Amino acid sequence: MDRINGLPALGFGTFGRKGEDGIETMRLALETGYRHLDTAQMYENEEEVGEALRRSGLLRGEVWLTTKINMPNFAPGKLVPSLEESLEKLGVDEVDLTLIHWPSPNDEYELETYMTQIAEAKEKGLTRHIGVSNFTIALIDQSIGLLGEGALATNQVELHPYLQNRKLAEHCKSKDIAVTCYQPLAKGTVSDDPKLVEIADKHGATAPQVALAWELAQGFVTIPTTSNADRVAENFGALNVTLDDDDMAAIGELDRGQRRIDPDTAPDWD
């Protein structure tokens, strides 16, 4: 599987995967071939992610683990202990990647307060890489100013055929920061899109596979999630779909600027 800044390009999102059913779904994802599990303190399922990894029988080094720091843990002196707690819940000595989940809502904490703490977590060996999520171009540039070029592995943002986020994605690419797409299937709405279905029929694929293949073809990391066993395998099959230039251009025309995750505390989007 291709890697982008070290991250396996196709990952499995774990939001909503909780309890015994969640553990088994994540274990199935690993059995299917996924080697990247994306969780967060906010998801309250780090224990389940760790248990799924143990049940899989895979070695720790075979699976990339990402977690994200919750906003209350941005306070001075709180981020590192919160990540240590996450490691305990996951049952690992370090994670591969730790992200700032959202910029501090309403600037409750200054950017320097939490970005220097996440850099400290890396220095302490709690995480191999660090990055951000839901950061704008301005926040990316400010973070680079604080931590230096090359410090950030990725910016995880909402990105799918209906919200292509081109300006931000190009800026991240110019800074050698991988783009990780969350909501890559636009909450499943891509399944019935006539253009995506047409392209899927052409390739003997499904519309969700086409959407994921479109993201992968641009060098993005993508992390779909599902609780449906058949869809776990279906999404993984996107790795076998190769789109041509006409397909890519047609999907490019689907951009509507249609954002699905937009809380009141979100930053001023690009």
**Total count of residues recorded for the chain:** 270
- Residues tagged active-site: 43
Distance CA 122, CA 98 (A): 9
Binding-site residues for substrate? 101
Facing residues of 156 across strands? Answer: 133, 180
> How far is Cα 103 from Cα 113, in angstroms, rounded to an integer?
11
Rg of the chain on CA atoms, in Å: 18
Distance CA(23)–CA(152), nearest Å, equals 30
Three-state secondary structure of the chain? CCEECCEECECEECCCCCHHHHHHHHHHHHHHCCCEEECCHHHCCHHHHHHHHHHHCCCHHHCEEEEEECHHHHCCCCHHHHHHHHHHHHCCCCEEEEEECCCCHHHCCCHHHHHHHHHHHHHCCCEEEEEEECCCHHHHHHHHHHHCCCCEEEEEEECECCECCHHHHHHHHHCCCEEEEECCCHHHHHHHCHHHHHHHHHHCCCHHHHHHHHHHHCCCEECCCCCCHHHHHHHHHHHHCCCCHHHHHHHHCCCCCCCCCCCCCCCCCC
Binding site listing? 101
